[in-house]
Amino acid sequence: MALIEVSNLEKTYFDEGVETHALCGVTFNIKEGEFVAIMGPSGSGKSTLLHVLGFLDRHTGGEYRFDGKAMDDYSDTELAHVRNKKMGFIFQAFNLLPRTSVLENVKLPLLYSGIEQKSWDKLAKNALEAVGLSHRLDYEPAQLSGGEKQRVAIARALVNNPMVIFADEPTGNLDSKSGQLVMEILQKLSEEQGHTVILITHETYTAEHAQRIIRVKDGMIEKEEIVNHRLKADKFIK
């Protein structure tokens, strides 16, 4: 069974009587453990699709099933619970608290997790070790490079051990070397730890780290393709 099942998905925005169709009958499935890139130009609907898939917004037509249950069957409280427990998010702008240590930033998702507080430090330190930042626990974001900030964001996304990680243009604010390292980490999380990774990007080079690319244009799927010459994560911080 697929982890994510999308059937004829639609999203329409209404602003002062004007309708904007951001998604127009999108259909696809994503299996657990898959690394999928959703690719398209600005305004194609890919970010809207991420918001729906990540339970950050509701669709207006069609059906979205996550882990076997239709999104329409979740209350807002249940959506928030699943989003916290089963989903991790990485954004282009990092979204770190500025005057808060790296360790405390990573612990943030645990506040509403139901996990005992005495375990939080260990979980956060394990997540930071996984991205090679054990030596930056007490640093604040202003003391980090862009690549290090994004690796902190990845650790924060990992701390609850989510089923799926959503990465929205995670290399957009990074130089090429830092961006490559971030993509290698995401690839390892899929290949070695079994996380489902959904990457939103407009860059072909970034998308080719995935196993499959779903190309979106004007709110519709233009085509799906298997990445035959996939870029490999041949080096990684230990």
pLDDT of residue 16: 83
The residues near 152 (Cβ < 8 Å, ≥ 6 apart) are 94, 96, 102, 105, 106, 128, 131, 133, 136, 141, 144
Residue 236 has pLDDT above 50, yes or no: no
Q: What are phi and psi of 138, to 5 degrees?
A: -95, 0
pLDDT of residue 60: 96
pLDDT digits (tens, 9 = 90+) for 73-118: 999 999 999 999 999 999 988 999 999 999 999 999 998 888 889 9
Query: Is the pTM higher than 0.75?
Result: yes
Domain definitions of the chain by residue range: 4-235
Residue 25 CA to residue 5 CA, distance in Å, equals 13
**Can you identify the CATH homologous superfamily of domain 4-235?**
P-loop containing nucleotide triphosphate hydrolases (3.40.50.300)
pLDDT of residue 234: 54
pLDDT digits (tens, 9 = 90+) for 157-186: 999 999 999 999 999 889 888 998 999 999
When pLDDT is averaged across residues 142-159 and rounded to a whole number, the result is 95
Alpha helices per DSSP H over 18-165: 46-53, 76-86, 102-107, 120-130, 146-158
Q: Which amino acid is at 191?
A: E
pLDDT digits (tens, 9 = 90+) for 12-54: 999 888 999 999 999 999 999 999 999 999 889 999 999 999 9
* Alpha-carbon distances of 6 from 24, 43, 44, 66, 185, rounded to whole Å: 12, 20, 17, 9, 27
Per the prediction, the chain carries an average pLDDT of: 92
